[in-house]
A and B are shown apart, each in its own frame.
Chain A
Amino acid sequence: MNAPSPNAYTAYPDANGRFGDYGGRYVAETLMPLVLELGRAYDEAKNDPAFHAEMSGYMTHYVGRPSPLYFAERLTQHFGGAKIYFKRDELNHTGAHKINNCIGQILLARRMGKTRIIAETGAGQHGVATATVCARFGYPCIVYMGETDVERQKPNVFRMNLLGAEVRPVTSGTGTLKDAMNEAMRDWVTNVDDTYYIIGTAAGPHPYPAMVRDFQSVIGTEARAQMLEREGRLPDAVVACIGGGSNAIGLFHPFLADEGVRLIGVEAAGHGLSTGQHAASLTGGRPGVLHGNKTYLLQDDDGQIIDAHSISAGLDYPGIGPEHAWLHDVGRAQYVSATDDEALSAFQLCSQLEGIIPALEPAHALARVGDVAKELGKDAIVLMNLCGRGDKDIFTVAEALGSRL
């Protein structure tokens, strides 16, 4: 039981970067050779023990891994159902899971001889993590951030600047995460020789969805081992929030072969699914092609992408990583949603009962954890990824609650 054996769910993507019908490499021809080169470089690194040893060293001494597995006793009592555990990835350096992926990709960029780093960011967590590794490894760093997000995540913009990164506000579209990603792609296609693009989520052209998943799988691999040690068994359900889906796939993937473990992803329902103002691409979208991959997207009848809405900037994305699209279709994972209001309630509940201020992103997951815990009952165990801390969100939450800071 210590190492799950591979099954039909763990063998993806195929050589063309496909998870079933999803994924692929839908990029302009100018970028195609670069994307293929990245795929080859990642395959080599993946099979090089020295790459893993180096990454593991930084994970331990710089990121602070392994993150604890924490029994949320008071929330468990509050809901009166299954035991609730948190994987404490908010305790990582920079305060979220994003750094796991950035360490892997900056080491890959260095290995490839690239000299300039670009990234997109929504909430700013991935931007901060990228700026952090660029500072640590001595790379110039440009972060594209929608101007709406620049406004609502000012503390993170300041952090990125402190770390030496240049934040470029993006005014095209609605100035959120998808527009930042378009602009980062435009930068990449313009600076093909020296630039490495660190995508922050498990989306984009192959190999990004697989590579980001691999780097984030440290979350699930650790949690699985920790749970076996603590409880002597696997959890009955694991729950994570989903924007692009990198923390969720990082948690889910090491459990894919454990077919008794339910995998539950929580999308952002914004003002409510019926209002059309949400970010739930699986629940409210249909398959299409954006940002280099085929996946579920919020779109109109003409195939134009519809702007997502969520109180959480990190979930405010009209697509989802292609592996989630596939896990959804084959039924291995289940996808539900939580509204802005539900996330705000969970945010306060977690702060008050556990002394942990969660980011608004995992507050969405927590909003459904109570239901799952009640449904499964007292003998069961639910594991949730607390993928980020909430310091960055206090202004947003204060405003939503009518307080002035």
Chain B
Amino acid sequence: MRHNRIAARFAALKAEDRAGLITYVMAGDPDVETAFEILKGLPAAGADLIELGFPFSDPMAEGPPIQRAALRALKIGMTLRGTLDLVRRFRLEDKDTPIILMGYTNPVLSYGFGPFAQDAAAAGVDGLIIVDSPPEEADELSEALDIAGISLIRLTAPTTDDARLAIVVKRTSGFVYYVSVAGVTGVKEADAASVAPAVVRVRAASNLPVAVGFGIKTPERAAEVARIADAVVVGSALVDEIAAAAVTSAPAAAKVLASVSALAKAVRTARLDVNVTSV
């Protein structure tokens, strides 16, 4: 069952007493084959879970790096269907690494919630994050995903108070994604001191693992967050590697995967330091 890939991975992480690394890349960025090469290489490079973005023309919550990634993907004709094709190819090689699709409502609505959920499950998708679908608007989508056995993973933010947190986590499964800064992706830097109490709060409200993202760019920062959260999400920094590689004609996949290895090493060793402040 699909649910279990996410749960199994977090159980394994807990057994190892380490945080997971979740890497975000955009489907079709910079082209289909390079994106597939990156995707295929992520588990060996140390990604514990994979977030795969599907492009949208108007990504309201993204900073410039992911905006540009979406434009690159759209330019080569990437679609939500094309994104599922990539997942299908990935699953032929990897049966265990959870894949979470991340994007905006309209492409999914346009596909149809029911058909999308069925096709995504068949392709091997484990979870879905829809940035612009708060719980108040998500009943129909939740039902379609429940039937297909896909987790709807919710975002909580610094602006989410306790009363609202209860509403947000109600229909969340898999894990909860804590947005560590008020802002768009990849601009502000997360502050570990303010993230720590928020992680405790979200974990207590949800009884689910908590992943922290939006504003984690370096191995150092990833390690700091790995000491307090169940998983660390890095996206914009990886996507920027793809953009930079395109400028210098460097091999994008190798550069991205090298960055992932460095991040994974930092995350995996974070709690081994002597002076840890573990929660």
B interface with A by C-beta (< 8 Å): 55-64, 67, 74, 79-81, 104-111, 131-134, 136-137, 154-161, 164, 168, 179, 182-184, 187-188
B155 touches A305 (CB 8 A): no
A186 touches B61 (CB 8 A): yes
Query: Which residue of B67, B74, B80, B111 is within 8 Å of A172 (Cβ)?
Result: B67
Decide if A301 is an interface residue (CB 8 Å cutoff). yes
A33 touches B58 (CB 8 A): no
Residues of chain A within 8 A of B58, CB atoms compared: 173, 178-179, 182, 290-291, 305
CA distance A34 to B160 in the complex (A): 10
CA distance A301 to B105 in the complex (A): 14
Q: Taking chain A's interface residues, is the majority helix, strand, or loop, or is none over half, making it mixed?
A: mixed
**Given A16-B136, A26-B105, A301-B79, 20 additional A-B pairs, CB 8 A:** A25-B134, A26-B134, A27-B134, A28-B132, A30-B182, A33-B160, A34-B159, A172-B64, A185-B60, A186-B62, A190-B188, A191-B182, A288-B109, A289-B105, A290-B58, A291-B58, A299-B110, A303-B111, A305-B57, A305-B106
Residues of chain A within 8 A of B105, CB atoms compared: 26, 289
B155 touches A29 (CB 8 A): yes
Given the known interface contacts A182-B58, A190-B182, A305-B57, the answer about A289 and B155 at a Cβ–Cβ threshold of 8 Å is no
Decide if A220 is an interface residue (CB 8 Å cutoff). no
CA distance A290 to B137 in the complex (A): 13
Given the known interface contacts A28-B60, A292-B132, A304-B56, the answer about A190 and B187 at a Cβ–Cβ threshold of 8 Å is yes
B132 touches A303 (CB 8 A): no
Decide if A32 is an interface residue (CB 8 Å cutoff). yes
A302 touches B80 (CB 8 A): yes
CA distance A190 to B104 in the complex (A): 19
A30 touches B158 (CB 8 A): yes
A288 touches B61 (CB 8 A): no
Which residue of A has the minimal Cβ distance to B105?
A: A289
Given the known interface contacts A189-B61, A304-B56, the answer about A27 and B74 at a Cβ–Cβ threshold of 8 Å is no
Decide if A365 is an interface residue (CB 8 Å cutoff). no
Residues of chain B within 8 A of A189, CB atoms compared: 60-61, 182-184
Query: Which residue of A24, A192, A292, A302 is within 8 Å of B159 (Cβ)?
Result: A192
Decide if A218 is an interface residue (CB 8 Å cutoff). no
